[in-house]
Structure 1
Amino acid sequence: MEYIRVTKDNLEEEHICCAISNNKDVQVSSKKAWLADRFDEGLVFLKSAERGKCFIEYIPAESAWVPIEADGYMYIDCLWVSGSFKGHGYSTELLDACIADSKEKGRKGLCILSSAKKKPFLADPKFLKYKGFEVCDEADNGIQLWYLPFDEKAVKPAFKECAKHPHIDEKGYVLYYTNQCPFNAKYVPVLEETAKKNNIPFKAIKIQSIDEAQNAPTPITTYSFFCDGEYVTNEQMNDKKFLKLIGK
Structure 2
Amino acid sequence: MEYIIVNKDNLEKEHICCAISNNNDIQVSSKKNWLKDRFDDGLVFLKSIERGKCFIEYIPAENAWNPLDANGYMYIDCLWVSGSFKGHGYSNDLLDACIKDSKTKGKLGLCILSSKKKLPFLADPKYLKYKGFEVADEADNGIQLWYFPFDKNASKPMFKECAKHPRIEESGYVLYYTNQCPFNGKYVPIVEATAKEHNIPFKAVHITTKEEAQNAQTPITTYALFKDGKYITNEQMNDTKFLKLVSNKKL
- The TM tier, using the shorter chain, reads over 0.9
Alpha-carbon shift at residue 157 of structure 1 (Å): 0.2
Aligned identity (percent) is: 78
User: Structure 2-normalised TM-score?
Assistant: 0.98
Would you say how many aligned residue pairs link Structure 1 and Structure 2?
248
Determine the structure 2 residue equivalent to 1:189: 189
- Shift, 1:48, TM fit: 0.3
**Cα deviation, residue 183, structure 1:** 0.1
Amino acid at match of 1:25: D
Q: Which residue of 2 aligns with 1:32?
A: 32
- 2:154 aligned partner: 154
Which letter maps to 1:160?
K
Offset of residue 119 of structure 1: 0.2
Superposed CA deviations along residues 129-165 of structure 1, whole A, max 9, x for unmatched, are 0000000000000000000000111110000111100
C-alpha displacement of 1:31: 0.1
Structure-2 residue corresponding to 1:44: 44
Matched, 1:121 2:121: yes
User: What corresponds to 1:14 in structure 2?
Assistant: 14
**CA distance in 2: counterparts of 1:121 and 1:95, whole angstroms:** 17
Gaps of 5+ in 2: none
CA distance in 1, matches of 2:11, 2:33: 9
Shift of residue 207, structure 1, vs aligned partner: 0.3
Q: Does 1:210 align with 2:216?
A: no
Q: How does 1:94-243 map to 2 (within 5 A)?
A: 94-243=94-243
Backbone CA RMSD of aligned residues: 0.6
Q: Displacement of 1:70 after TM fit?
A: 0.2
Return structure 1 stretches of 4+ with deviation > 4 angstroms. Answer: none
Partners of 1:72 and 1:95 lie apart in 2 by 18
TM-score (norm: length of structure 1): 0.99
1:244, distance to aligned residue in structure 2 (A): 0.5
Letter in 2 for 1:217: Q
Query: Which SS does the other structure have where 1:247 is aligned?
Result: helix
Q: Report the 3-state secondary structure (helix = DSSP H, G, I; strand = E; otherwise coil) of the residue aligned with 2:135.
A: strand
What displacement does 1:209 show? 0.3
Distance between the aligned counterparts of 1:15 and 1:7, measured in 2?
Answer: 12
Deviations 1:98-154 (A, max 9, x none): 000000000000000000000000000000000000000000000000000001111
Helix, strand or coil for the counterpart of 2:144? strand
> What is the identity, as a one-letter code, of the residue corresponding to 2:67?
P
Q: Partners in 1 of 2:18 and 2:164 — Cα distance?
A: 28
* SS across alignment from 1:217: coil
Structure 1 position 215, deviation (Å): 0.3
Structure 1, unmatched stretches of 5+, are none
In structure 1, give the amino acid aligned to 2:243. L
Q: Distance in 2 between matches of 1:218 and 1:20?
A: 29
SS, match of residue 208 in structure 2: coil
